[in-house]
Amino acid sequence: MRGPRYTEIVRGLPSTVPFVGPETQERARGRAFSARLGANENVFGPSPHAVTAMQTAASDVWKYGDPENHDLRHALAHHHQVAPDNIMIGEGIDALLGYLVRLLIAPKDRVVTSAGAYPTFNFHVAGFGGDLIQVPYSDDAENPQALVAKADQTGAKLVYFANPDNPMGSWHTARKVADAINRLPDGCVMVLDEAYIEFAQEGTAPPLDTDNSQVIRMRTFSKAYGMAGARIGYAIAHQDLINAFNKIRNHFGVSRIAQAGALAALADQKHLNDTIARVAEARDRIATIAGKNGLIPLPSATNFVSVDCGRDGDFARKVLNGLISKGIFVRMPFVSPQDRCIRISAGTQDDLDRLEKALPIVLQEVSD
């Protein structure tokens, strides 16, 4: 009996599971984390109105969600002053990135990103057989000029650029981003991942330009809107590119509960602004805690702070493991020299009290 005949692409993919969640680590250590600061989740959570909307929708969950995501799409169009046809709702940015790669990338097609940038994007590129070309970070930031130059040089069909960046928290001005967009080579699409944009200051996002068929912007309800577990994000682009998603997406894929929650979350901009302020406070406190312990907090336009531990990746990993062993879930960049840092998401006061208490002890332990 001969079993499944996988495609050539699939046979070439690694079988190790590339993503390990905090629950997996909790099961391995036999107890829950006391502070969950590793996944850039938003501990301050969604608007209470969004929670209520999701709870109400839970009673109606026997119905499929609207496959057009009509109401949310129209509300987002109004919010962003674009047309509903310029918006595609998806099961989180991860799913939208997967669809986008699938639309554009056949085996051997070239794709450009930064070494150490969002691994799920790389996972999708590999998953469709694309040839991923990586440009180094420059001064702990993605380098849009270098990304576009590399795309030009290699004939890439797609270039990934996150602004602000994860895992470093760095960002570029709207002007610099617009300049990179203007230099995009013919036939190359830039996916501008703006998952963290609500945390950045004015002048970080270039104006939306849905006439430009070479740029697709990714936004999400997972970060500033506090709904990571609901799985809902959206893309903004030229209507032809948006419409192409309809050729391949799971039309009924977005949860009815998530649609209802996102609609209510979007309507509560006061809660969003309160959250942004609380995140800014938490970021400041993380920076203070880091500084008091002789570590260097990097500037951040996101809901996390990358903290330079001052030595190499091995040392940072020891600090990371020390914190984890004390119940504080954090993560770190995985490419040198960014891996001299650990990445700490904004937490509640309690979370950061725990961090403040644990960090000097951990540093003492790892310096022995």
Of 235, 257, 290, 295, the one binding a second copy by CB under 8 A: 257
> Could you tell me the two tokens for 56?
């109400």
Considering the rule CB under 8 A, would residue 240 count as an interface residue with a second copy? yes
Cβ proximity of 156 and 111 under 8 Å:
yes
Which lies closer to a second copy via its Cβ, residue 147 or residue 156?
156
Query: 32, 34, 252, 281: which one contacts a second copy (CB under 8 A)?
Result: 252
DSSP string over 210-235: TT-TTEEEEEESSSTT--GGG--EEE
- Binding to a second copy (CB under 8 A): which residues in 276-315? none
17 binds a second copy (CB under 8 A): yes
- Closest alpha carbon to 198 in 118, 347, 49, 302: 302
How many residues form the binding site for a second copy (CB under 8 A)?
Answer: 89
* Chain residues 109-128 in contact with a second copy, contact rule CB under 8 A: 109, 127
Q: What angle do CA 73, 177, 182 make, to 5 degrees?
A: 95
Out of 32, 34, 79, 106, the residue judged to bind a second copy by CB under 8 A: 106
Which residues between 57 and 86 bind a second copy (CB under 8 A)?
57-68, 70
- Piece in contact with a second copy (CB under 8 A), picked from 197-205, 237-245, 292-300, 312-320: 237-245
Which of residues 184 and 290 has its CB atom nearest to a second copy in the complex?
A: 184
Burial class, 30, CB count within 10 angstroms (exposed 0-12 / middle 13-18 / buried 19+)? exposed
In the range 322-361, which residues lie near a second copy by CB under 8 A?
A: none
Q: Output the six-digit token pair for 180.
A: 């990179």
35, 42, 236, 333: which one binds a second copy (CB under 8 A): 42
On the question of a cis peptide bond just before residue 164, with omega within 30 degrees of 0, the verdict is yes
Q: Which of 116, 117, 137, 157 binds a second copy (CB under 8 A)?
A: 157
Give the pair of three-digit tokens for residue 252: 């009924």
Residues 6+ apart with CB under 8 A from 86: 77, 210, 236, 237, 238, 239, 242
Beta carbon nearer to a second copy, 43 or 316: 43
Is the CB of 173 or the CB of 348 nearer to a second copy? 348
* Paired residues of 308 in beta bridges: 296, 341
Closest approach, Cβ 327 to a second copy, in A, equals: 16
* Residue 27 interacting with a second copy (CB under 8 A): yes
| Site for a second copy contains 255 (CB under 8 A) | yes
What are the angstrom distances between the C-alpha of 106 and each of 109, 130, 161, 194? Answer: 6, 6, 20, 25
Contacts of residue 171, Cβ cutoff 8 Å, sequence gap at least 6: 141, 163, 164, 165, 200, 204, 301
Binding a second copy by CB under 8 A: which of 139, 186, 202, 368?
186
